[in-house]
Structure 1
Amino acid sequence: MESTTQIRFPYDQSIVKELPLLNKNEIEDILVTAEQLFNDQPNWIPAYKRIEILEKAAVIMNDRSEELIHIAISEGGKPYKDSKAEILRAIKGVKLAAEHISQLKGEQIPMGLTEASVNRIAFTSKEPIGVVAAVSAFNHPLNLAVHQVATAVAAGCPVIFKPSSNTPLSGIALAAILKEAGLPNGWLQIVLCDNETAELLVTDPRIHFLTFIGSAKVGWYLKSKLAAGTRCALEHGGAAPVIVESDADFTEMIPDLVKGGFYHAGQVCVSVQKVYVNQEISDRFIKQFSEAVDKLIVGNPFDKTTDVGSLITPKEVDRVEEWVNEAVAEGARLITGGKRISDTCFEPTILFDPSEGSKVSTNEIFGPVVCVYPFKNREEAIKRANALNVHFQAAVFTKNIDAALDTAKKLNATAVMINDNTAFRVDWMPFGGRDSSGLGMGGISYTIEDMTREKLTVFKSKSL
């Protein structure tokens, strides 16, 4: 009997679609197709054609943006205004991928610097790395697909894309659009399968590059199982610490932190999670922050007034509720929220000074919860912010340039935002975690470069 997966609307758990899962035998056919395309070098898609395909895909996506927004909401549960922003980003991402193709270039390597290297000219060039396996996450179903699929198309690599089983419809829609835009058969294959079959796919020696966005536990496990020679990029989560100094501008900061903490119900790898506030202003901060959070509208993500939608599954609501209750039992003061609204929604929650040992302090929450910790000494706050082994994006709010630069230097993060929230991202910037938060840097152009490899060509001639 054929196995299937049910895609449910996270808000009310109604079934949106039921799709078949591939089995291990079907994975073999997919790998054979991808390998044959890569080995057939004379028929690689030329650069000008890749540009045409991606540019046309961006036009089609723009024409169908409302349809894509609807798909993303129905499977991911992100509110309308945020899903709309995601689709606009995804369109821009496809354009960025098309533009970067013209930047895939090598350089001349000097020769004649020693007697042994005379009569030679040498240069490097970029080639596609090979077959790409892309494993994606649920929280930005279209934009993440663009970051993993459009980049592979731009690099000239056949790509096998495994979307999250919760949110595969956006990736499937992207594949249909790319095909309509002229991408030849086989260059993008969508794989819906269980975890065991996915492991079989990504660890196959015919895979040259793995791009993985998801949990650290799974990502690092898969990396340990990769075939010799397979390169990879891993993007996991963090705890997104923020340092707030006593001279911070509340007018700018409060809305920034509310957005950064509760966008997509906190289900973002760089959501504001741990805010360290100078105790001189902590009472004022708590008052203004909680007043702003209390104004957030929680509800159906299709409603254009909704600020915070549902979590991806009821199981996640159970987990967040358990963690919040544990934090309160261990001494945290509940400022606002703290309760489930339904099986699928949880109140936007602020916890004050939870124990450093509570799960909300030691793990990525991935829910609508922000923890606030008072500090006397900024050095101590930075030390606490750096204490976990996850390090991704961080932030500092201050109008003192020396304090800002000092904090940015000392925070262990791949990116530090000054007077902005930790969730800031544009798709042309480098983006990724360090230490256990990931490996390599994403961002459209960075990923395309990752999916290429260099070749050195050396001419020897008496005429040189």
Structure 2
Amino acid sequence: MKKHLLINGDWIKASEYRDLYAPYNGDKLAEVAFANAREINLAIDAADRAIKSMAQLTAFQRAEILMKLVELLKGRRHECATIIATESAKPIKAAIVEVDRTIMTYTFAAEEAKRINGETVPMDAAPGGENRIAYTLRQPLGIIAAITPFNFPMNLVAHKIGPAIAAGNTIILKPASQTPLSSIYLGELLMECGLPPGALNIVTGSGAKIGEKLVIDNRIKAITFTGSPQIGKKIKNQAGLKRVTLELGSNSALLIDKNVNLTDFIGRCVNGSFSFAGQVCISLQRIYVHEEIYDQFVTSFLEETKKLKIGNPLDHTTDISSLISEQDVERSLKWINEAVIAGAELVIGGQRRANNTLEPSVLLNVPSTEKISCQEVFAPVVMINKISSMEEGITEINESKYGLQAGIFTNDLQLALKAAERLEVGGVMINDIPTFRVDHMPYGGVKESGIGKEGIKYAIDEMLETKLVCFRKI
């Protein structure tokens, strides 16, 4: 089964194809187009030609296209989830949740398409502004380049495609090499919804080749990227004056006060650590627990972890399945071993299973200099460290070069307010894990976790130009 390039509303045969295999069992899933420079340029040409027709769509028409997509996704919910589970090894029950979130993301985009408006400016507020009336227009930028990761192959694509369509832009989508089938399926659905030819173009292949071509082409007006800090920095350096939104790495942390009831949230902590085998940007990786309840927390956490089932992603009872590649299993095991040598205690897991699967792993008292602590593990591995005060915990969390989201469980209102102000992250979850996200909230980090904000309304703001119109009364 060959999967082609979507260019100018047609599925175009590529000069080269590469085999795509399932992470869980190695089954061949498809032959996927591997775009060359000429084909990438064809996609940019198509997006450029479609700018006028896309910008001329009314807000109602853009919203209607997005709502048609919502209805198609609702009718094909299980089919979408099966594609996600097969190409990414995401457990099917988690894949269904992703489809439901994708539906909600496009619904928000449809709603926000009707809320794009400017404002009046009181010109006479400044000397010399008398006798003038002014207002602002918010207009689409043009071509948006969207580069997406493997871990949420439908919903993270939706967070880029939905706002771009809502704002009236055209899009070139480069999906992750391991998970292109979800994006290709999305393209098929959008072709049924009345999207103008060339408004969405999908190019698959080398991330380095396609990404560089998109970043340096002057016709591209904005780049929205989710992925590694290393690639994000390269994009930022090459982008020049283009708009750039980067959602990058994290080693999200949770702070647990001594005055909380552990039974209220221990399950959420385990789920936040090991959902999709820890391959989530805001996966719970570092837990700092007050010494007075540390032993109780560790015992409860381990008991809950032992209930998790490892297995086939298409089995509805599976909690944890394969990592995206064998290399990621090897890297994770190496980091665990390095932490143990440095003095950490491995209390569960740390073993490879069949089918590129890693057991959920918990380490205690990990030195802050170890990769398990200071880098993004992106695997089912979590560290739990003891702290003597909440002040110490806030300091430990802020030592990270990342700053996407953090959480704190406490019954102390003053401490919650203090943590909200002092934690150096883009989002603070009070009495919840840092893995919490709903799709309309502002989402984005500080430091090496990125720049700009996602969340539909906020992403749309990044994809619009503001123009001032001023009349002088005569």
Partner of 1:208: helix, strand, or coil?
strand
Opposite residue 331 of structure 1, the aligned amino acid is G
1:365 equivalent to 2:410? Answer no
Q: 1:293·1:348 contact (CA, 8 Å) conserved in 2? A: yes
Opposite residue 48 of structure 2, the aligned amino acid is E
Sort the Cα spacing of 1:95 and 1:214 in 2 relative to 1 into closer, same or farther, 3 A: same
1:131 equivalent to 2:149? Answer no
Sort the Cα spacing of 1:42 and 1:234 in 2 relative to 1 into closer, same or farther, 3 A: closer
Matches within 5 A, 1:45-56: 45-56=57-68
For structure 1, which segment, 245-254 or 265-274, has the greater mean C-alpha deviation from structure 2 after superposition? 245-254
**Counterpart in the other structure of 2:177:** 165
**Counterpart in the other structure of 2:211:** 198
**Counterpart in the other structure of 2:221:** 208
Distance in structure 2 (CA, Å) of the matches to 1:352 and 1:272: 14
Summarize deviations over 1:6-53 as a string: whole Å, max 9, x none.
322211121111112110011111111212222x36963222211111
Opposite residue 31 of structure 1, the aligned amino acid is I
**Counterpart in the other structure of 2:418:** 406
Distance in structure 2 (CA, Å) of the matches to 1:125 and 1:242: 42
Matches within 5 A, 1:2-401: 2-38=15-51, 40=52, 44-114=56-126, 116-194=128-206, 195-226=208-239, 228-401=240-413
Using the TM superposition, give the Cα deviation of residue 114 of structure 1 relative to its aligned residue in structure 2, in angstroms.
Answer: 4.8
Q: 2:54·2:199 contact (CA, 8 Å) conserved in 1? A: no
**Counterpart in the other structure of 1:422:** 434
Distance in structure 2 (CA, Å) of the matches to 1:181 and 1:233: 27
Partner of 1:373: helix, strand, or coil?
strand
Opposite residue 68 of structure 1, the aligned amino acid is C
Q: 1:37·1:44 contact (CA, 8 Å) conserved in 2? A: no
Distance in structure 1 (CA, Å) of the matches to 2:211 and 2:133: 45
Opposite residue 9 of structure 1, the aligned amino acid is A
Distance in structure 2 (CA, Å) of the matches to 1:243 and 1:170: 36
Using the TM superposition, give the Cα deviation of residue 4 of structure 1 relative to its aligned residue in structure 2, in angstroms.
Answer: 2.5
Q: 1:239·1:363 contact (CA, 8 Å) conserved in 2? A: yes
1:460 equivalent to 2:448? Answer no
Using the TM superposition, give the Cα deviation of residue 314 of structure 1 relative to its aligned residue in structure 2, in angstroms.
Answer: 1.0
Sort the Cα spacing of 1:421 and 1:114 in 2 relative to 1 into closer, same or farther, 3 A: closer
Distance in structure 2 (CA, Å) of the matches to 1:363 and 1:290: 23
Partner of 2:50: helix, strand, or coil?
helix
**Counterpart in the other structure of 2:443:** 431
Using the TM superposition, give the Cα deviation of residue 310 of structure 1 relative to its aligned residue in structure 2, in angstroms.
Answer: 1.1
For normalisation by structure 1, the TM-score amounts to: 0.97
Sort the Cα spacing of 1:42 and 1:365 in 2 relative to 1 into closer, same or farther, 3 A: closer
Distance in structure 1 (CA, Å) of the matches to 2:334 and 2:387: 27
Q: 1:147·1:444 contact (CA, 8 Å) conserved in 2? A: yes
Unmatched 5+ stretches in structure 1: none
Aligned residues: 460
Distance in structure 1 (CA, Å) of the matches to 2:179 and 2:91: 15
Distance in structure 1 (CA, Å) of the matches to 2:268 and 2:35: 43
Q: 2:55·2:168 contact (CA, 8 Å) conserved in 1? A: no
Using the TM superposition, give the Cα deviation of residue 2 of structure 1 relative to its aligned residue in structure 2, in angstroms.
Answer: 4.1
Summarize deviations over 1:124-175 as a string: whole Å, max 9, x none.
0110011000000000000011111121111100100000000011111111
Opposite residue 259 of structure 1, the aligned amino acid is N
Distance in structure 1 (CA, Å) of the matches to 2:389 and 2:23: 42
Q: 1:10·1:312 contact (CA, 8 Å) conserved in 2? A: yes
For structure 1, which segment, 127-136 or 444-453, has the greater mean C-alpha deviation from structure 2 after superposition? 444-453
Using the TM superposition, give the Cα deviation of residue 202 of structure 1 relative to its aligned residue in structure 2, in angstroms.
Answer: 2.2
Summarize deviations over 1:43-73 as a string: whole Å, max 9, x none.
6322221111111110011001111001111
Opposite residue 89 of structure 1, the aligned amino acid is R
Q: 1:317·1:343 contact (CA, 8 Å) conserved in 2? A: no
Partner of 2:48: helix, strand, or coil?
helix
Opposite residue 29 of structure 1, the aligned amino acid is L
Opposite residue 200 of structure 1, the aligned amino acid is K
Partner of 2:353: helix, strand, or coil?
coil
